[in-house]
């Protein structure tokens, strides 16, 4: 059975993600100079021996390679010890198969091929295969029928989604893998005529990622898919990842049938840099696993297989059994933000991650919108109420104060008001979620998060594009310099990843987008600091009186909010 094929740089030009040594890649092949070696101890082409041993029925793996020239091919452990080797000498392309055992592979260990070229060599392709042997293993694997569904949720991003659709069409023509692709179009801008036997375009109300993925899961269940992959529409997808996921599902051990398979996110802008490989949730805060790892380095590739257990998997690439819909329900109707967090925590099932299962995704700086602040805070509160009985009033109020104070010091007063609204809406309980039309409510929230972009308000203020960071000992006790007279300056700050101590005594702030253009300009309003204090005190007493009951209401209504019936009713409006 084919597990996955060797990959060469096509989508991104970063050779060390694929091979390490003196080699050049051209037209899906690899040239190696005589007298040099080329290692496949790389993110995409090494073999995750420890994880295949742990999670699957595979015991013996065959490495296939088509090569021309005189070379010795080694299979090595991650420490460099040789497992086996073969010599080949031919002046025309020849297929060579090398079989090795993974029974003694340690947890998280990788094995990899290395080609020592005695003459100039050319590699035309390769793959890893397994023959699941033994009567018990054969019996189990023969019953493992997989019909794989893939669900994209998209909203007016034709450039990205059409490219991914074309790749999946080509993938379907190349491999005889049962695959059905659902493109849930929340903007209803894709022609339904793009549908074919592999891909179905579904026009959907604009109910955000939550509703789009709920629709994808529902369609997958109705079509008879055994598994569904949730994918973001703006990813760059190497379809070898789909092949690897499918083959992994085919040979999973029965105890891992109910598992997630998670894809890492690599930065589109810096293709070798990993943003996240699964993530943690401590009951309130999120933190990525494997953050900012340089996957060109051998030591990083080895360490990446040994990351800690994840609490949830983000939905840029997340595969799971469609039976989860019946067992655990559908996504919460959050519209956007933290729906993947809540679902992973609700299901409480293993998350399998593996080198080579990944997508490239744009960073989040260019996607920032003001009303995201509302969704982030409200959905964090609901997740905590549902799944963390140890977090109470003080933690929630402390986070409210920290968030509104920060936004106020950034002069983003309209967003501080949205955060307070998120807390008020949360305290209205699940009835609020059940009663609103999430698409219409998103339009309303968006209208509240659009400040005027009037650059004329800065007058003759001096513009400072690179403001200095003020010492914390001065900044925080002085409330960002607000106890002093403001300076007639306008500092430029990005929309995200901000060092707040740069705002010291600034009268104006120009908030800039990732491309350097100005999103909006704000003016200092010192009285807003008193507003923050007042709202924090008001919310403290509100939580003190109502939080226990509100939390109980969310827990009681969770099944209703995540039911198949809820989403069917919504889609039928």
Calpha distance 152→456 (Å, rounded): 43
Return the bridge partners of 73, or none. Answer: 86, 115
Q: How far is CA 87 from CA 84, 114, 134, 225, 382, in A?
A: 11, 12, 30, 44, 61
> What's the pLDDT at 79?
96
Lowest-confidence segment of 153-167, 222-236, 348-362, 363-377 by average pLDDT? 363-377
Q: Is the pLDDT of residue 487 over 90?
A: yes
Per-residue confidence (pLDDT) for residue 365, from 0 to 100: 67
Please check whether residue 153 is in contact with residue 186, taking contact to mean a CB–CB distance below 8 angstroms: yes
At residue 480, the 3 state secondary structure works out as coil
What band does 26 get if pLDDT is binned at 50, 70 and 90? low
* pLDDT (average), residues 510-517: 86
pLDDT at 318 over 70: yes
Matching residue, tokens 């040994």: 306
Q: Are 110 and 54 in contact (CB under 8 A)?
A: no
* pLDDT tens for each residue of 296-312: 999 999 999 999 899 99
The whole-angstrom separation of Cα 194 and Cα 192 is 5
Mean pLDDT for the stretch of residues 484-492 = 95
- Span 227-255, mean pLDDT? 95
> What tokens were used for 59?
């015991």
Side-chain-facing half-sphere of 91: CA atoms under 13 Å: 0
Q: What is the pLDDT of residues 345-396, one digit of tens each?
A: 999 999 999 999 999 998 776 677 889 999 999 999 999 999 997 777 888 8
274 Rama sector, left if φ>0, alpha if ψ -120 to 50, beta otherwise: beta
Q: What is the pLDDT of residue 366?
A: 66
525-559, pLDDT tens digit by residue? 998 888 988 999 999 999 999 999 999 999 999 99
Percent share of the chain, pLDDT over 70: 96
Residue 141 pLDDT exceeds 70:
no
Average pLDDT, the chain: 92
Q: What is the pTM of this model?
A: 0.93
Contact 309, 260 (CB under 8 A): no
DSSP string, 359-420: EEE--SGGG--TTHHHHHHHHHHHHHHHH-TT--HHHHHHHHHHHHHHHHHTT-HHHHHHHH
Per-residue pLDDT, 514: 78
Query: In angstroms, rounded to a whole number, what is the distance separating the alpha carbons of residues 360 and 316?
Result: 9
């Amino acid at each position: 059975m084919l597990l996955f094929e060797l990959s060469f740089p096509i989508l991104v030009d970063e050779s060390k993600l694929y091979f390490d040594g003196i080699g050049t890649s051209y037209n899906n092949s690899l040239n190696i100079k005589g007298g040099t070696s080329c290692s496949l101890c790389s993110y995409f082409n090494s073999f995750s021996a420890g994880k295949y041993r742990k999670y699957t029925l595979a015991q013996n793996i065959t490495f296939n390679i088509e090569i021309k020239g005189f070379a010795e091919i080694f299979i090595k452990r991650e420490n460099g010890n040789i497992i086996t080797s073969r010599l080949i000498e031919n002046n025309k392309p020849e297929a060579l198969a090398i079989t090795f055992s993974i029974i003694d592979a340690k947890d998280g260990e990788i094995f990899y091929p290395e080609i020592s070229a005695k003459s100039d060599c050319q590699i035309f392709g390769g793959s890893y295969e397994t023959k699941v042997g033994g009567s018990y293993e054969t019996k189990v694997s023969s019953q493992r029928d997989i019909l794989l569904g893939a669900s994209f949720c998209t909203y007016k991003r034709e450039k990205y989604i059409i490219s991914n659709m074309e790749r999946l069409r080509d993938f379907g023509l190349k491999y005889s893998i049962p695959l059905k692709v659902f493109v849930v179009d929340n903007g209803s801008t894709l022609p339904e005529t793009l549908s074919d036997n592999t891909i179905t375009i579904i026009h959907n109300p604009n109910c955000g990622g939550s509703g789009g993925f709920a629709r994808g899961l529902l369609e997958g269940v109705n079509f008879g898919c055994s598994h569904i992959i949730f994918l973001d529409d703006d990813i760059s997808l190497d379809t070898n990842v789909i092949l690897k996921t499918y083959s992994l599902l085919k040979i999973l051990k029965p105890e891992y049938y109910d598992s997630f398979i998670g894809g890492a996110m690599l930065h589109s802008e810096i293709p070798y840099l990993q943003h996240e490989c699964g993530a943690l949730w401590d009951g309130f805060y999120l933190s990525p696993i494997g953050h900012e790892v340089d996957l060109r380095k051998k030591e990083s590739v080895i360490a990446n297989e040994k990351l800690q257990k994840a609490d949830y998997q983000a939905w840029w690439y997340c595969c799971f059994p469609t039976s989860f819909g019946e067992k655990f329900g559908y996504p919460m109707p959050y519209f956007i933000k933290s729906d993947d967090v809540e679902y992973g925590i609700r299901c409480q099932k293993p998350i399998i991650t593996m080198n080579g299962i990944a997508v490239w995704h744009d960073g989040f700086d260019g996607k920032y919108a003001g009303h995201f602040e509302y969704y982030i805070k409200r959905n964090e509160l609901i997740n905590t109420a549902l799944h963390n009985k140890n977090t109470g009033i003080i933690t929630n109020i402390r986070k409210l104060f920290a968030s509104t104070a920060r936004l106020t010091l950034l002069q983003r007063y309209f967003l501080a008001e949205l955060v307070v609204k998120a807390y008020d809406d949360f305290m209205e309980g699940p009835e609020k979620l059940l009663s609103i039309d999430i698409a219409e409510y998103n339009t309303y929230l968006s209208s509240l998060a659009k400040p005027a972009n009037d650059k004329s308000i800065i007058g003759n203020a001096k513009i400072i594009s690179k403001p200095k960071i003020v010492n914390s000992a001065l900044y925080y006790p002085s409330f960002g310099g607000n106890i002093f007279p403001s300076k007639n300056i306008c500092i430029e700050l990005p929309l995200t990843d901000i060092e707040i101590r740069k705002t010291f005594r600034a009268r104006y702030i120009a908030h800039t987008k990732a491309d350097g253009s100005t999103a909006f300009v704000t003016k200092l309003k010192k009285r807003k600091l008193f507003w923050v204090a007042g709202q924090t005190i008001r919310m403290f007493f509100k939580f003190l009186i109502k939080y226990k009951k509100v939390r109980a209401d969310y827990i009681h209504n969770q099944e209703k909010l995540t039911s198949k019936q809820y989403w069917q009713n919504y889609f039928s409006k």
